[in-house]
Homo-oligomer: A and B are copies of this chain.
């Protein structure tokens, strides 16, 4: 049985998708050296550059956040697979500048190994790079060791906020400190309803019974903390936002960013209904929603489900979040 996907040779997935990506968003981004998505209009070299790396198959992330006010370079791997160290060090060399480079890495085994090897080389070569690791998944518990906490959709708003800080001319230390403050105050929990097909192998990335859902699912089908019977949107929202608010220690009067990030097949209709459920719970707690980005930012092919993300915001973070940006995945006027 052929896969029900619009693809050609599965071996060409990443190169073809990047080609199409550049046709669609050629006013914002360009492709260099096969796997490096860079800004169409390069940033002033006096400003801090932002580099990230990660697998493909999560579109629009990660490369969808390259552009004015966000990332400078995204190093693209293969489907769900981190790029190897050679491309990563190439990107770090390309981005290197006196103002410095912030290198944002999501906590996934492959990404981290690639990043570590590239950082070793960068240090040997004397490049001016600071690495920041996102690890905001609370599925293994909010106080599980960092190694166990995956980097999920939180990288996306972090790119935007760090990018705005860089665009504002802040130093590498300042940009790093802001990004780290956001990083320290964010949390994500994912939920899955239906599996997706890996576009290279044609296999389902996990199995879930017809009446089951799973909270805590990773973004490549890695299993989460617990399967349960299907719940309503309101029940799901309540369970997830309660854990997330607790994880970031949100208290009455606090202002949260709440992001509902669709995994692929979950409709915007459902995401809106969930967000409404989230607001009811936060209203009870006297916690304010400062902003609520909703849509598909980091997907898992056509998986049904979403990632719910929260971050404790302060005036500076909100200002940076609302600053202009112009990327394929997010434009702010």
Contact = CB atoms under 8 A, between A and B. Distances in A.
Interface of A: 1-8, 13, 16-21, 23-25, 56-57, 59-60, 64, 193-194, 199, 210-211, 213, 229-230, 232-234, 236, 260, 264-277, 279, 289, 292-296, 299, 301-302, 304, 306, 324, 326, 331-333
Contacts of A266: 5-6, 302
A2 B59 CA distance: 29
A294 B6 contact: no
Contact of A273 (B1, B7, B267, B269): B7
Nearest to A24: B294
Copies in the complex: 2
A193 B4 contact: yes
B5 A267 contact: yes
Contacts of A270: 5-7, 199
A20 B234 contact: no
Contact of A268 (B211, B233, B299, B324): B299
A321 to B, nearest CB: 12
B274 A6 contact: yes
21 contacts: A1-B210, A2-B230, A4-B193, A6-B266, A6-B273, A13-B273, A16-B233, A17-B272, A20-B273, A23-B272, A23-B276, A24-B275, A24-B292, A57-B269, A59-B267, A60-B295, A264-B267, A267-B302, A296-B296, A302-B304, A332-B333
